[in-house]
Structure 1
Amino acid sequence: MPPNLSSRPSNQRRSDYMGKADIVARNIKFALTGEDKRNWFAGNPVATAIMDGASILFPVGETYFINAVVHFRDRVSDPKLLAEINGFQQQEGIHSREHRRYNNAIKAFGGDVDALEQNLRDEIARWDDSPEFKLAVTCAFEHFTAILADDLLAHPDFMAGAEPEFSRIWHWHAIEEAEHKSVAYDVWNIVKPKGLKGYLMRTRAMRLATRVFLQQTHNNAFTLLAARGEAATGRNIRRALYFGLVKPGTLRRQMGAYLSYYLPGFHPWQHDNRHLIEQRKDSYAAPITAAE
């Protein structure tokens, strides 16, 4: 479904979006090691490999995002946004740690996770390394993760039949991505190039993020499948497309939300999904004051 875009004008003040969600770092260590669970997603090897392939992106990605946002901390004077940057840094730091542990756990199922991570590092090394473009890329990936999180939280049946601890880590990650979804974008609005230049940089970064997320996740998934004894057959390719576009069909369901990013007056909280955060957040442990 398309997002509920605000009817307010494109010069919407940031203060009108402040306080949408508390950013709470939940220091949880998930128990993902042990028996072989290469088909943890309801016995579906393709769906499992897609989720595992996405997880491989996070330790490198989250570190990139933290650095991109924190670089501009001294340009921020708003105490609330400064506090949100701290919360963002804490959450993303723990996400990086837990997905590193997740990725170490799935190594036992087959697949050279370290080589797949290096593929992402090599990709990043080819990008424009200006601080502004790094932040624009971060905003783009944060929108991607926010809409995927929204879909997971909005559809309780998404992980029906999945191993409980894998379902738990993904729902935890989704809650926190939803909570901090506007932090990078709010910093961007302070430091971005003015006028058309800023808009073109932001949308160019989204095109890059879209290509990289889809290509890397696809490559990771099929590399993992091959290592787990599942060939890249036409049947498995069809199953991957079915997963993304039909059932659960996250890419199809979130197309409107994705395209909203290209609107000149876009802001992440134009789609207010606080009710989804509220429905799930009490399932997780108490917050901490700093990431480990």
Structure 2
Amino acid sequence: MPTRRISFEESLAELPRHFAQDGNVVSSHVLANLSSVFPDGEDFFVRSVRHYRSEITDPTLKKQVNGFIGQEAMHGREHRVFNDRLAELGYPTKRMERFTKWGLELRTRKAPPMANLATTAALEHFTATLA
């Protein structure tokens, strides 16, 4: 999976406060809060996969894992930019980001690496259904 270099920063300048579904307040708040968990969630995914990268012997799988890591890093960067804009609009994204970071760092310390990898796989499937 090649890493796609994307940037939405310029297009966010005109983002209205209620940006989802033609100004729907509830949808906008739900999506803003969902977005606020993505950057640290994607960092968690990268840590979980990176933990096992050195054990991969299949060159195709290793290439796919490297692509996944690059893609997740790109997604995290763009969600941080989006969340910064949402914070400017008054959404509590920074508070949600801190809470998410705390929870995922705790999980990384307390759960076995295989459980974190399984969580990553499950959450990747979940977020794919949202897309």
Write the distance in 2 (CA, Å) between the matches of 1:118 and 1:89.
22
3-state SS of paired residue (2:91): coil
Aligned 8 A contact 2:32 2:93 in 1: no
Partner amino acid, structure 2, of 1:53: N
Write the distance in 2 (CA, Å) between the matches of 1:60 and 1:94.
12
Aligned to 2:12: 33
Write the distance in 2 (CA, Å) between the matches of 1:86 and 1:75.
13
Structure 2 residue 19 is the aligned partner of structure 1 residue 24: no
Structure 2 residue 82 is the aligned partner of structure 1 residue 91: no
TM-score (norm 1): 0.41
Aligned 8 A contact 1:56 1:99 in 2: yes
Deviations 1:66-100 (A, max 9, x none): 01001101111111100000110111010000000
1:162-177 matches, cutoff 5 A: none
1:215-226 matches, cutoff 5 A: none
Partner amino acid, structure 1, of 2:46: I
- Which has the higher Rg, Structure 1 or Structure 2? 1
Aligned to 1:117: 97
Write the distance in 2 (CA, Å) between the matches of 1:148 and 1:110.
24
1:55 to 35, 59, 71: 35
Aligned 8 A contact 2:36 2:96 in 1: yes
Query: How many Å apart are 1:109 and its aligned residue?
Result: 1.1
Partner amino acid, structure 2, of 1:112: P
Structure 2 residue 112 is the aligned partner of structure 1 residue 130: yes
Partner amino acid, structure 1, of 2:125: H
Q: Using a 3 Å threshold, how does the CA distance of structure 1 residues 112 and 48 change in structure 2: closer, same or farther?
A: closer
Query: How many Å apart are 1:36 and its aligned residue?
Result: 5.4
Structure 2 residue 119 is the aligned partner of structure 1 residue 141: no
Deviations 1:85-120 (A, max 9, x none): 011011101000000000001111103322111111
Write the distance in 2 (CA, Å) between the matches of 1:25 and 1:63.
16
Aligned 8 A contact 1:36 1:108 in 2: no
Q: Greater helix percent: which structure?
A: 2
Structure 2: stretches of 5+ with no match in the other structure: none
Query: How many Å apart are 1:122 and its aligned residue?
Result: 2.7
Q: Using a 3 Å threshold, how does the CA distance of structure 1 residues 73 and 55 change in structure 2: closer, same or farther?
A: same
Report the identity percentage: 35
Aligned to 1:164: none
Write the distance in 1 (CA, Å) between the matches of 2:5 and 2:15.
26
Please, what is the CA RMSD of the aligned residues? 1.5
Partner amino acid, structure 2, of 1:39: H
Partner amino acid, structure 2, of 1:141: L
Q: Using a 3 Å threshold, how does the CA distance of structure 1 residues 66 and 126 change in structure 2: closer, same or farther?
A: closer
Write the distance in 1 (CA, Å) between the matches of 2:91 and 2:31.
14
Task: Tell me how many residue pairs correspond in the alignment.
Answer: 127
Aligned 8 A contact 1:107 1:113 in 2: yes
Aligned 8 A contact 1:68 1:131 in 2: yes
Aligned 8 A contact 1:32 1:105 in 2: no
Structure 1: stretches of 5+ with no match in the other structure: 1-22, 150-292
TM-score (norm 2): 0.88
